[in-house]
Amino acid sequence: MGYLRVIVEMAGIDGRISDKEDYMINLFAKILKLSEKEIRESKSLDYNQVTLPTSSKDKEQLITDLIMLMLIDNDISESEYLFCKDVASRLSISGVFVDNKINEIISNAHLLLNGAYDQKKLQLSFTKILMNSISKTMKKS
């Protein structure tokens, strides 16, 4: 249930859960074979208390799922991106892995979820996020 709680946290990190994000949450819950009761319980868990995956495969899958959710509305908010990077850090996964996985998913966006992803919009959005990140890093120096 902790896995789904992290997914739900990502969906609401920008202040609202869109219909597409809600659809993805329900899809993940179905894949995890969670009952309605388990879904409700996972949503009420304290995010900071959830147990994160420990196997490399499950860690990478969680990051991939977070990215898929982050991209579903064809825009990447900075809060979503930073949350994904934070979870990756908690899982001992590098930020470079996250950026490469985002690029990989965007490159295959036209194949995913029956065209729900707009590759061009996502590329522009991700470029903007990366440029903001680089700019902030340079200002700190």
pLDDT digits (tens, 9 = 90+) for 22-51: 888 988 999 989 998 988 888 888 888 888
pLDDT digits (tens, 9 = 90+) for 88-106: 999 999 999 999 999 998 8
Q: Which fold has domain 2-140?
A: TerB-like (1.10.3680)
Closest of 11, 61, 4, 80 to residue 38, by C-alpha: 4
Stated pTM of the model: 0.83
The answer to whether the CB of 74 falls within 8 A of the CB of 121 is yes
* Structural domain boundaries in the chain: 2-140
Neighbours of 114 (CB within 10 A): 6
